[in-house]
Each structure stands twice: as structure tokens, then as C-alpha cells.
């Protein structure tokens, strides 16, 4: 990649405004329904968010909506796997939900990395899969999700910042499609952040699953260094842990929590961006 102009890349992100608007309009509108029709669980808000995260695939990569079962196109599995995670999570009893979700994540990870696992030895493939799965689980369960109130809006900030960073870094690494999908996802996270103060929250599990899947794609199939992906994952983990610890204290004001969680999340992101730019310079890329 000899040259790169950021203007065309930004222009190609314009369709991400559509899932942003859809989620931002539909989530708060639930508050205006008659009392008897207002959702008493996260099912309907999560369905709205699920619609929002499928839209970027329909807009940026319509092939992925038609080629669910192509083993040679791992990114095309993400919409179907996201839907499967949603249904599994809502069908199983609450007591078994974490186990069922973990199983769905492992199955998804197997499908996403199957083309590469076929090329590796059994020991090497098992080790790579185990390490990736352990990191994914650690990040997922660092975020506290209330079954009634959903995800704390402050905890959405690391998810938004990381997905936006992935959207910005992916074109630098030669994958505009990954950047577009990450940009669409960051728009959904931003809409969730803005909708929460208006009275409607969602669990954030499915868009979080999609972000994890996009990071796996970036790590295994795109020319993004493992260090950069590691910094992005570290930002998610630190943001989740910080949000959980601050929520347990209960005395920290919202403004202070936002500053702390955002600041801690930005530190690994800044390191990841620096590493990506250094890699680009070493490869002879320009702006």
C-alpha cells in the first residue's frame, strides 16, 4: 500500500449513519408505548440493536447475507452467528445462560478460524484457539450486564472507542471492508450510548460479540499486527473492569466515571494506534 487518502475512506463510511439513525430512533421510542405494551425485558431493545448490527453487513457486504455457509469466507458467518447467539441466549433458562453463551462463542470462534485451523497442526491450532477464546471470555464477562436494566451506558464507551479505532485502523492495514463494518458497529454503539439517557438500554451482548468476531478477523485474516489487536482487546478489558469496579463502589458520580473509564480505555488505544502507524511507516505507506 503506497498511498492512502483518508477522504475516500470517510466517504465510504456514510452508510453507517443508517444503522445509527435506526437504533437511535427505535430504542427511545419504546418509552412512548402505552404502559401495558412497554417491554419488561431486554428482548425488544436487543432485537432493535440486533437489527442495527445486521444493517452494516447488508449495506457494506451484502454477499455476507447470502453466503452464510461458505467455509472459505469466514467474515460471512458473522451475521448468522450473531443471530444464533441472540436466540441461544434467550431460549435457554437464565441459570444456564452464561454456559450457553460461552458455548455459542466457542462454536463461533471455531467457524471463524476453521480455514486457518485446517492449515495448522492439532497442537498449534488448539493452543491458538484456546488463547483467543480465553481472551474473548475474559473481555465478555468483565462487563456487568443487568438482566433488567441492561448494560451501564458508561460501559458502552470502551466498546464505542475500540470499534471506532478498529474502523480507523483497518483501512490503514489494507482492509476497507473490515473498517466499514467496524465503523457501522461503532455507529450502533454510539446510538446505544445516546439512547440510554433517554430511558432505554440494551444488553450490548450481540454487538459485543460482533466486535469480538471482527477483532478475530483482524488478527487472523487482515494485515493488522497481533500487537495492535492486543492493544484493542486490552482496552476493552480494562474498560470493562474499570466500569465494573466503579459500579460496585456506588459513590462515584457519572461524570467522574465517564472520565475514568474513557481515560483508562484510551491508553491502550493510543498505544495501538501508535503501533499501527509505526508498522505503516516501516512498510513504506504514506498518507
Segment 170-194 mean pLDDT = 91
Longest dimension (CA), the chain: 61
pLDDT at 287: 36
User: What integer pLDDT is reported at residue 130 of this predicted model?
Assistant: 94
Q: What is the pLDDT of residue 71?
A: 67
Between 2 and 248, residue with greater pLDDT: 248
- Of 195, 205, 204, the C-alpha closest to 31 is 195
* pLDDT band at residue 262 under the 50/70/90 scheme: very high
pTM above 0.95, yes or no: no
The reported pLDDT for the residue numbered 285 is 46
Does the structure show a pLDDT above 60 at 263? yes
**pLDDT of residue 50 exceeding 80:** yes
* pLDDT for res 208: 94
**What is the SS3 assignment for 57?**
helix
- Which tens digits make up the pLDDT trace of 86-144? 998 889 888 888 888 899 999 999 989 988 888 888 888 899 999 999 999 999 999 98
**pLDDT of 279:** 77
Q: Which residue has the cell 462515584?
A: 252
- Summarize pLDDT for 4-16 with one digit per residue, the tens: 455 555 666 788 8
- With vertex at residue 212, the alpha carbon angle to CA 226 and CA 84, rounded to the nearest 5 degrees, is 145
Q: Are β-strands 150-151 and 145-146 bridged in parallel, bridged antiparallel, or unpaired? A: antiparallel
Mean of pLDDT values over 250-270: 90
Contact partners, residue 195, CB within 8 Å, separation at least 6: 23, 24, 27, 28, 201
Residue 286: predicted pLDDT: 42
Dump pLDDT digits (tens) for 264-282. 999 999 999 999 888 777 7
Amino acid at each position: 500500500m503506497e498511498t492512502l487518502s483518508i477522504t475516500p475512506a470517510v466517504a465510504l463510511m456514510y452508510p453507517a449513519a443508517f444503522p445509527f439513525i435506526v437504533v437511535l430512533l427505535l430504542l427511545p421510542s419504546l418509552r412512548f408505548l402505552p404502559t401495558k405494551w412497554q417491554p419488561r425485558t431486554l428482548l425488544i431493545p436487543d432485537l432493535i440493536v440486533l437489527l442495527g448490527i445486521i444493517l452494516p453487513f447488508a449495506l457494506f457486504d451484502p454477499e455476507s447475507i447470502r453466503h452464510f455457509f461458505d467455509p472459505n469466507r469466514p467474515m460471512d458467518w458473522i451475521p448468522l452467528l450473531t443471530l444464533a447467539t441472540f436466540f441461544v441466549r434467550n431460549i435457554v433458562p437464565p441459570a444456564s445462560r452464561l454456559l450457553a453463551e460461552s458455548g455459542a462463542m466457542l462454536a463461533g470462534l471455531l467457524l471463524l478460524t476453521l480455514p486457518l485451523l485446517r492449515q495448522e497442526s492439532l497442537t498449534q491450532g488448539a493452543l491458538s484457539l484456546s488463547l483467543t477464546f480465553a481472551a474473548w471470555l475474559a473481555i465478555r464477562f468483565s462487563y456487568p450486564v443487568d438482566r433488567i436494566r441492561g448494560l451501564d451506558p458508561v460501559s458502552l464507551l470502551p466498546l464505542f472507542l475500540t470499534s471506532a479505532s478498529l474502523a480507523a485502523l483497518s483501512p490503514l492495514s489494507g482492509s476497507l471492508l473490515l473498517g466499514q463494518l467496524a465503523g457501522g458497529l461503532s455507529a450502533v454503539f454510539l446510538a446505544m450510548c445516546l439512547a440510554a439517557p433517554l430511558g432505554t438500554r440494551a444488553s450490548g451482548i450481540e454487538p459485543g460479540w460482533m466486535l469480538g468476531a471482527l477483532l478475530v478477523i483482524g488478527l487472523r485474516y487482515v494485515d493488522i499486527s497481533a500487537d495492535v489487536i492486543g492493544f484493542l482487546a486490552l482496552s476493552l478489558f480494562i474498560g470493562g473492569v474499570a466500569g465494573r469496579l466503579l459500579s460496585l463502589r456506588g459513590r462515584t458520580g457519572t461524570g467522574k466515571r465517564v472520565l475514568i473509564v474513557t481515560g483508562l480505555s484510551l491508553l491502550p488505544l493510543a498505544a495501538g494506534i501508535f503501533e499501527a502507524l509505526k508498522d505503516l511507516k516501516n512498510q513504506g505507506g504514506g498518507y
